[in-house]
A and B are shown apart, each in its own frame.
Chain A
Amino acid sequence: MQTTEVSNLKAPPSPQAAERDILSVEGLSLSFGGVKALQHVSFNVKEGSVTSVIGPNGAGKTSLFNSISGFYTPNEGNVNFLGKNVNKVAPPDRAEMGMARTFQNIALFKGMTVLDNIKLGRHAHLKTNLLEALCYFGPARRTEEALRKEVEERIIDFLEIDHIRNSSVASLSYGLQKRVELARALAMQPKILLLDEPVAGMNREETEDMARFILDVKEEWGVTVLMVEHDMGLVMDISDHVVCINFGQVITEGLPHDVQAHPDVISAYLGSGDVATLRKKFKAGR
C-alpha cells in the first residue's frame, strides 16, 4: 500500500451537515460480454464533499467513472445528477449540465498551448455564432475578453501554471500535464469534478500540491469532487466519504478511517489469502 503522508494538510471538517446528494448511482451494472465490470453498484455523493472511490486494479473504478460521465452505457441501473436521471443524456450534454472529468491517461489537445487547452474547456458554455466570431465584434469580443480574464485570474493563478501558459502541452512534465487537465476541467465551470487518478505517477511534492488544489476546489470554488485514487495517504487525508469497490461491487463505504479499518478492504488491498478465496466469499454473498 502506498502511504504518502500529506500531513501538513488538515482533513476538512466532516461535511457541513448532510445536504442534498448532487450525484447518486443506483444499482449500476455493466458487463462486457461475459465480464461483469460492475454489479449493482450504488452510492451517493453529497454536494460540497470530496468522495473517493478506491479499490484494487481491475476492480471497476474506471468503468464506474465512464458510466457516470456517459462514455459507457450501463446495462442496468440509474445515474442521477442534480436530481435528474441522466441515463439517456450524452456526454456533451452532461458536460453542459456541470459534469467535468479528467482522464487516467492524460487527454489533452497536444498541438495546442496550455492557455488554448484551458479555454477550450469553456466551449460548451459559449454561444457566439459564426458571424459574430468572424467580425470579432460585440458579444463575441466581450465573451472572449471575459473568458480570458477569468481563465487568467482565477484558474491559471490558482493552479500556479502562469509560467507555462504559452507552452505546448506536449512539452510539459507529467505532473504539470495533470494540472493543466484539472485547469481545463475547472474552466468548464463544473458542479461536480470527476478526477480519475489525479496523482498517479506523481512524486511526493506534486502529490501534496494536487491535494491542496483539490481541497481548494472544494472549499473556495464550492465544487463537489468525486475521485478515483490509489494513493491511500491522499484519499484518507482529503476525503469526506470513501467508497471501496472490488470485483465490480461495493465492499463498504463510509468515513475514511472506518473504511480503512474494514477487514474486507484490508484483505482486498493486502490480499488475505488468495484471490480465489475472496471471490468465493463474494459469490457466497456476504
Chain B
Amino acid sequence: MDWLFFSEIGLAGIGTGGLYAVAGLAFVLIYKATRVVNMAMGELLMAGAYIFIGFSAGLALPVWISIPLTILATGLLGGVIERTIIRPMLGENAISIFMVTIGLGSVLVGLVEIFWGADPHRLVDFIPSDPIFIGEAYLSPKVGYGFAVAAVIIGLFLVVFRTWRGGVALRATAGDQAAAYSMGINVPKVFSLVWVIAAMIAAIGGILVGSIGGVSPSMGVYGLSVLVVVIIGGLDSLLGALIAGIFVGLIETYAGAYLGGEYKMLATFSLLVLILVVRPYGLFGTHEIERL
C-alpha cells in the first residue's frame, strides 16, 4: 500500500468535501428555516458561477471586484426567487413546492444557455497555482485554496448564526413558525433572508467548484451529490452537512482513485442507501418524537 498516494487522495477528498459542505450548508439553511427541499441548489451554484463569468469575462472586471458583485447578484437572485416563486407556494403541499424547485432548476439551466450557450466554460484563473505540499503529500492548489475558503465561510457563518439576533430568529422560525410569528419575529422576512444568504453561499460554492472543474449548464448535477450529503447528514442539521460533506468527499475520491471513476457515484449512493436503512433521519437529523 502506497501511503503517500493514500494521503494525497485523502487530502483531495477532504478538499472536495469542503465544497460539498458549503453547498450542503446552503441547502440545510433553506430546509431548516422554510421546510423547502430545494432541488435547484445545484443550479443555483451553476447560476452563481455563470454570473461570475459575466462579471469577470463578459464585463472584464477584475476578479476581486467580480467576486463580491457575483455574491450580491446571486443573493438578489435568491431573494427574487423566494419572493416570486416560493412565497406564493407557502402553505402548499411539500411535494408541490419540491416540484416547483425542480422546475426552477430547469428554468435556471435554460436562462444560462440563452446567455452563455451550452458549451462548457473555464473561469478566469485567479487561484494561485503554486503546488501545495502538506508534509510530502501533494495537494492541488485549487482544491487546497477552495477548501480554505470553504472553511472560512463555514466558520464565519457558524459564529454569526450563533450570536446574531437574526440567527436566533432563524432558529425560532425553524422550531415553530406560528409561535415565532406571534412573538414578534417577522417570519416572511426570515424566509427571504434565508434564500438570500443561501444563494450567496451557493455563489461562493459555484465560483470555487467552477474554478476547479470548469462550468457547464449541466453543472447542476453537482446538486445530486449535495443532496446525498444533506440526507446523510440529516436534512436539518448544519453540523451534519459539514461532517457528511467531508465524509462523502472522502468516500467519493477514494472510490474514484482505487476502483475507477465510474464507481464514484455508485459509492456515494450506496452509502446513502446504507445510511437511510440504519438512520432514516440522517446522522445528525432531528428524530421527531411524537407524544401519543
Residues on A facing B (Cβ under 8 Å): 69, 71, 90-93, 95-96, 100-101, 103, 107-112, 120-121, 123-126, 128, 130, 133-134, 136, 170, 174, 184, 188
Contacts and interface: CB of A to CB of B under 8 A. Distances in A.
A124 B183 contact: yes
B221 interface: no
Interface string B167-180: 01101100110111
Nearest to A126: B165
A111 B175 contact: yes
B1 interface: no
Contacts of B164: 130, 133-134
Nearest to B163: A133
A53 B242 CA distance: 50
Contact of A123 (B172, B175, B176, B291): B172
A108 B172 CA distance: 9
Nearest to A173: B291
20 contacts: A93-B184, A95-B182, A95-B183, A100-B182, A103-B179, A107-B178, A108-B176, A109-B180, A111-B171, A111-B175, A111-B286, A120-B172, A123-B165, A125-B184, A126-B165, A130-B160, A134-B159, A134-B163, A170-B289, A188-B184
A184 B183 contact: yes
Nearest to B188: A90
A59 B152 CA distance: 56
Interface in B190-212: none
B6 interface: no
Interface of B: 159-160, 163-166, 168-169, 171-172, 175-176, 178-187, 286, 289, 291
A125 B184 CA distance: 8
B181 A188 contact: no
Nearest to B236: A111
Given A109-B175, A109-B176, A133-B163, A123 B182 contact: no
Contacts of B171: 109, 111-112
Nearest to B182: A101
Nearest to B159: A134
Nearest to B289: A170
B285 to A, nearest CB: 12
Given A71-B178, A91-B181, A92-B181, A120 B186 contact: no
A93 B186 CA distance: 8
Contacts of B168: 120, 123
A189 B153 CA distance: 37
Contacts of A124: 183-185
Given A92-B181, A107-B182, 5 more contacts: A91-B181, A109-B179, A123-B184, A124-B185, A174-B291
B166 A130 contact: yes
A136 B179 contact: no
A92 B175 contact: no
B138 to A, nearest CB: 38
A71 B91 CA distance: 13
B277 to A, nearest CB: 25
Contacts of B165: 123, 126, 128, 130, 133
Contacts of A112: 171, 175
